[in-house]
Chain A
Amino acid sequence: MKRRHFIKLAGASPLILLAPGCAKKKVAQSATVGGGAPQANVVSSGSTARVLVLIELKGGNDGLNTVIPYRDQEYDRLRPQLGIKQDRILTLSDDVGLHPSMDSLMTSWKARDMAIIQGVGYESPNRSHFKSIEIWETALSDDDSSEDGWLVDQLEGHIRTDQDTDAIAVGQQELGPLRGSMRTLTLEDPTRMAQVSRRLGRISERASANDSLAHILRVQSNLLGATERIEDRLQTVPPLKHAYPKGEFGQHMEMATKLIVSELPVMVLKVTLGGFDTHAGQAGKQARLLGQLSAALSAMRANLIAHGAWEKTLVMTYSEFGRRPAQNGSKGTDHGTAAPQLVWGGGVRGGLYGRAPSLTNLANQDLIHHVDFRQVYATIMRDWWGLPARGALGSHKPLDFLKG
């Protein structure tokens, strides 16, 4: 029996095109974007609609052991135990190589659809999980507080109005870059949703005495109705040929792949991989996580290529911060600063970008970034969706890791 993956939809029944409360903001925004009405079909038109898949590496991934400057003697000095042995490192260039657990990514690297942006960070780095991830999610510095995700800000007014959903967060998680008036849907625990949907039928008589309860049940029923529409669409996807690693992340990546293959017109998908806060015993933990990431990514890539959807997909990792170059006393590393970002997709110009951060010229014993993460965001706006970057994002110089 096929397990049905039930989905919970936020703010959309066929009659409600926008989530409550965002209509007002939309009007204000369109006034600032070069005049004119929101262009409803600029970014998405039919099955060629481009998708961005965000993979949040939760906890602060140790970038220095991910993209390793294997020739730098400082590396061995800073990480006598934690350093990866040179003969295990997967060579990418004369200067850097990948963590050995990421060997499934070498196919993508050789096919030149994988780009690594080195030394990404921001000024006055914040080493608090909450504050730093907020900065990444809102693309605003600490002082300016906004709660809306950067994608919501940037994509407002460019969203299709003939679909239920703009973005999907796979697995219960924080919406982060999608927080705000975007219609975001979350894939939930299938068993629980199945229970709910089965029992909903039996309930209606009971509610009649209690108007409040009746109202809630009516709304719940709408919610499920909308999700079933997406569920039906997913049913049209044949089983994917390339297998995903076991575990939740693999399942979520499989779901994300199916969503793309089903040609559901969403613009953004978000998946989370947690466990990167490796203050102690980092070696095994990070190896397992990077292994999962790579295997899942590689399966997604192979499946999307097989279904002709790789060209329209862009995948990007991000993490709240990198970690300290020097290992600590518990065979781990503490919160740091700059780290590499990995990007894959049919539209990617593969290779290395930015610069590996210096291991001698440090600030407070931490790596100094060369690329501001907002440059990466700006590149996506300009070259992936062909949209002008709004607000402060527009002042960051894009890179050229996308073919455009």
Chain B
Amino acid sequence: MSMQDARHFLARTGFAPSMFEIEQLAERTPRERIEQALVNVRTTPSTAPPAFEGGSLMQRQRTLRKESDLEPMEKRSKKRALRRSARKGMMELAYWWYDEMIRTPSPLTERLVFFWHNHFTTSAQKVRDPGFMLDQNLLLRQHAAGDFKALLHGISRDPAMLLYLDGQSNVKRKPNENFARELLELFTLGEGEGYTEEDIREAARAFTGWRVNPKTGAFEFFERKHDAGQKTFLGQTGAFTGQDILDILLTRPRLSEHIAERLWKEFVGSEPDPKEIVRLGRVFRKADYDLKPLLLELFTSKGFLDESLHGGQIKSPVELIVGTHRLFNVPISNPKRVVVSGRELGQAPFYPPTVKGWEGGTSWITTDTLYRRQQLMHRIFRVEENLPEVRAQGASALLGEGNHTPAQARQQIQALLLPVDPVHLPDTDGDLIEFIYSLALDPAYQLK
């Protein structure tokens, strides 16, 4: 039983856990498990991200625009080259993140960074600049299990976010409400929760002048374009700047509950008990928005530990790909294919489909994506060079050294790979790789 609990915890807070990881945690209490995982959370990546030299895309486009002695044809072709180079950079960046997720000693870190990426959504489709997208990723990473206040303040000044939600065009006399709206609706309070259209408008005014300096590519408070007048926001009045708006939001209990709800949806998946959300919100506020106590409460709550939840969620494309690569140590011969596979399954890191992010849950599975998931498994398990350790060492590659009969080994591998019994009973007599392959094709393998 405790093995399955440990497995559930690791699968829900990380990617596909190995037998070693499960055994390490199996004898600990739930509290000890999460404390251990939180201690290991990183604030910087474990692999070196790509370096994007030569200034931001914005800066280089600006320089190009100002070049007056270029033929229009030449200018156009240089423009295209800049865009191509940005696209290439994004592909590199996406691959780097997959690689980080596969190699990291702290899967919880990556799950949290991805959670925040899906919360403070920003898409490279609009931002285009790989340098900005990387910087945002590093910001999320810095505070993933840390100070939410710092995260919130940081993300509102983040160049990628400013570009994505039109901070650039939010100026005095012509305020752009995009960021203010999503700030209230998605990032802090939640749709319809205690704010009005008027509040959105006033908040937008407060954020005017917050922009990315086109020459330096860094955040700046452009005073000239800032509406310094009096604003009334959530019942308070003052000559608010964006900073003040965020500080006011942080006084609302609703914010802490909204964040707790979002985390619940991501990691627990079931409909949260409203009383539980209120309790978690209180914990979060009492800790002055330190995420660690909130996460500790979340992962030790009765809701999370409920056994009936095992296998109750569907793995996201990234979780499926990363988990499979991690667990089976699948060598990556073509990095681009990994990124493209994820995209084909419906999830391209750095490209959330809308500002609401990836919906997740059952939306991951359609006739098309289910077929593609199975095709992906087929590709991974059918290629000769993959699974070298399993081919060489057999079951002990996955289970560690130990005395198991072939039947026991298969049972254990099944328990390792699947959170619930397989739908199609696999053939236990054949080849080990075939056995594993049939488990990977089973609908239960799509669950976590």
Does residue B55 face the partner (Cβ distance < 8 Å to A)?
A: no
User: Mask for B313-338, Cβ within 8 A of A = 1, else 0?
Assistant: 11000000000000000000110110
Whole-angstrom distance from the CB of A166 to the nearest CB of chain B? Answer: 13
Asked if B367 and A11 make an inter-chain contact with CB atoms under 8 angstroms apart, the answer reads: yes
Asked if B374 and A8 make an inter-chain contact with CB atoms under 8 angstroms apart, the answer reads: yes
Known: A11-B367, A217-B443, A223-B367. A212 touches B423 (CB 8 A): no
Whole-angstrom distance from the CB of A20 to the nearest CB of chain B? Answer: 5
Q: With a CB–CB cut-off of 8 A, which chain B residues contact A232?
A: none
User: Mask for A163-203, Cβ within 8 A of B = 1, else 0?
Assistant: 00000000010000001000000100000100110010001
Bound CA span A223–B374, Å: 12
Asked if A213 and B362 make an inter-chain contact with CB atoms under 8 angstroms apart, the answer reads: no
Bound CA span A144–B367, Å: 31
A212's partner among B84, B314, B368, B438 (CB-CB below 8 A) is: B314
Bound CA span A38–B446, Å: 37
Asked if A10 and B368 make an inter-chain contact with CB atoms under 8 angstroms apart, the answer reads: yes
Known: A199-B423, A199-B424. A20 touches B370 (CB 8 A): no
User: Mask for A141-157, Cβ within 8 A of B = 1, else 0?
Assistant: 00111010000000000
Asked if B368 and A19 make an inter-chain contact with CB atoms under 8 angstroms apart, the answer reads: yes
B-facing residues in A11-48 (Cβ within 8 Å): 11-13, 16, 19-21
Q: With a CB–CB cut-off of 8 A, which chain B residues contact A143?
A: 84, 88
Bound CA span A217–B420, Å: 14
Among residues of B, the one whose C-beta sits closest to the C-beta of A195 is B424
Asked if A213 and B444 make an inter-chain contact with CB atoms under 8 angstroms apart, the answer reads: yes
Main SS class of interface, B: helix
Does residue B382 face the partner (Cβ distance < 8 Å to A)?
A: yes
Whole-angstrom distance from the CB of A90 to the nearest CB of chain B? Answer: 34
Q: With a CB–CB cut-off of 8 A, which chain B residues contact A203?
A: 423
Asked if B367 and A222 make an inter-chain contact with CB atoms under 8 angstroms apart, the answer reads: yes
Asked if A213 and B423 make an inter-chain contact with CB atoms under 8 angstroms apart, the answer reads: yes
Bound CA span A147–B84, Å: 14
Does residue B20 face the partner (Cβ distance < 8 Å to A)?
A: no
Asked if B87 and A145 make an inter-chain contact with CB atoms under 8 angstroms apart, the answer reads: yes
Asked if A172 and B378 make an inter-chain contact with CB atoms under 8 angstroms apart, the answer reads: yes
B370's partner among A12, A144, A192, A216 (CB-CB below 8 A) is: A216
Whole-angstrom distance from the CB of A140 to the nearest CB of chain B? Answer: 11
Does residue A211 face the partner (Cβ distance < 8 Å to B)?
A: yes
Bound CA span A21–B343, Å: 11
Q: With a CB–CB cut-off of 8 A, which chain B residues contact A215?
A: 314, 362, 365
Does residue A226 face the partner (Cβ distance < 8 Å to B)?
A: yes
Whole-angstrom distance from the CB of A206 to the nearest CB of chain B? Answer: 8
Does residue A1 face the partner (Cβ distance < 8 Å to B)?
A: no
Bound CA span A172–B382, Å: 10
Bound CA span A134–B335, Å: 13
A-facing residues in B299-356 (Cβ within 8 Å): 308, 311-314, 333-334, 336-337, 340, 343, 346
Among residues of B, the one whose C-beta sits closest to the C-beta of A12 is B367
Bound CA span A169–B136, Å: 40
Does residue B225 face the partner (Cβ distance < 8 Å to A)?
A: no
Does residue A314 face the partner (Cβ distance < 8 Å to B)?
A: no
User: Mask for B233-274, Cβ within 8 A of A = 1, else 0?
Assistant: 000000000000000000000000000000000000000000
B-facing residues in A55-102 (Cβ within 8 Å): none
User: Mask for A213-230, Cβ within 8 A of B = 1, else 0?
Assistant: 101110110110010000
Asked if A172 and B375 make an inter-chain contact with CB atoms under 8 angstroms apart, the answer reads: yes
User: Mask for B48-74, Cβ within 8 A of A = 1, else 0?
Assistant: 000000000000000000000000000
B366's partner among A11, A144, A145, A210 (CB-CB below 8 A) is: A11
Whole-angstrom distance from the CB of A236 to the nearest CB of chain B? Answer: 24
Bound CA span A192–B371, Å: 14
Does residue A392 face the partner (Cβ distance < 8 Å to B)?
A: no
Known: A145-B91, A217-B423. A212 touches B371 (CB 8 A): no
Count A-side interface residues using an 8 Å CB cutoff: 39
Asked if B447 and A144 make an inter-chain contact with CB atoms under 8 angstroms apart, the answer reads: no
Whole-angstrom distance from the CB of A320 to the nearest CB of chain B? Answer: 13
Q: With a CB–CB cut-off of 8 A, which chain B residues contact A130?
A: 333-334, 336-337
Q: With a CB–CB cut-off of 8 A, which chain A residues contact B334?
A: 130
Asked if A212 and B370 make an inter-chain contact with CB atoms under 8 angstroms apart, the answer reads: no
Whole-angstrom distance from the CB of B441 to the nearest CB of chain A? Answer: 8
Asked if A219 and B366 make an inter-chain contact with CB atoms under 8 angstroms apart, the answer reads: yes
Bound CA span A217–B438, Å: 16
Asked if B312 and A212 make an inter-chain contact with CB atoms under 8 angstroms apart, the answer reads: yes
Q: With a CB–CB cut-off of 8 A, which chain B residues contact A120?
A: none
Does residue B372 face the partner (Cβ distance < 8 Å to A)?
A: yes
Q: With a CB–CB cut-off of 8 A, which chain A residues contact B371?
A: 8-11, 186, 223
Asked if B443 and A220 make an inter-chain contact with CB atoms under 8 angstroms apart, the answer reads: yes
Asked if A212 and B311 make an inter-chain contact with CB atoms under 8 angstroms apart, the answer reads: yes
Asked if A213 and B365 make an inter-chain contact with CB atoms under 8 angstroms apart, the answer reads: no
Among residues of A, the one whose C-beta sits closest to the C-beta of B421 is A206
Does residue A209 face the partner (Cβ distance < 8 Å to B)?
A: yes
Asked if A209 and B443 make an inter-chain contact with CB atoms under 8 angstroms apart, the answer reads: no
Bound CA span A195–B313, Å: 25
Bound CA span A216–B311, Å: 12
Asked if B366 and A216 make an inter-chain contact with CB atoms under 8 angstroms apart, the answer reads: no
Asked if A20 and B366 make an inter-chain contact with CB atoms under 8 angstroms apart, the answer reads: yes
Known: A11-B367, A209-B308, A223-B367. A216 touches B372 (CB 8 A): no
Bound CA span A3–B84, Å: 49
Bound CA span A186–B375, Å: 9
Whole-angstrom distance from the CB of A215 to the nearest CB of chain B? Answer: 4
Asked if A196 and B367 make an inter-chain contact with CB atoms under 8 angstroms apart, the answer reads: no
Does residue B105 face the partner (Cβ distance < 8 Å to A)?
A: no
Known: A147-B343, A215-B362. A223 touches B370 (CB 8 A): yes
Whole-angstrom distance from the CB of B8 to the nearest CB of chain A? Answer: 14
Whole-angstrom distance from the CB of B347 to the nearest CB of chain A? Answer: 12
Asked if A13 and B424 make an inter-chain contact with CB atoms under 8 angstroms apart, the answer reads: no
Q: With a CB–CB cut-off of 8 A, which chain A residues contact B365?
A: 215-216, 219
Known: A172-B375, A210-B420. A216 touches B443 (CB 8 A): yes
Q: With a CB–CB cut-off of 8 A, which chain B residues contact A145?
A: 84, 87-88, 91, 336
Bound CA span A195–B427, Å: 11
Additional A-B contact list (13), CB under 8 Å, known A19-B368, A213-B444, A217-B423: A8-B374, A12-B367, A20-B346, A130-B333, A130-B334, A143-B88, A172-B375, A172-B379, A179-B340, A203-B423, A210-B311, A211-B362, A220-B443
User: 24 A-B Cβ contacts within 8 A?
Assistant: A12-B367, A13-B367, A21-B346, A134-B336, A143-B88, A145-B84, A172-B378, A172-B379, A172-B382, A186-B375, A199-B423, A199-B424, A210-B311, A210-B312, A210-B447, A211-B312, A211-B362, A212-B362, A213-B311, A216-B447, A217-B443, A219-B365, A219-B366, A220-B443
The 4 A-B pairs with the shortest beta carbon distances in the complex, nearest first, are A11-B368, A215-B362, A216-B443, A10-B371
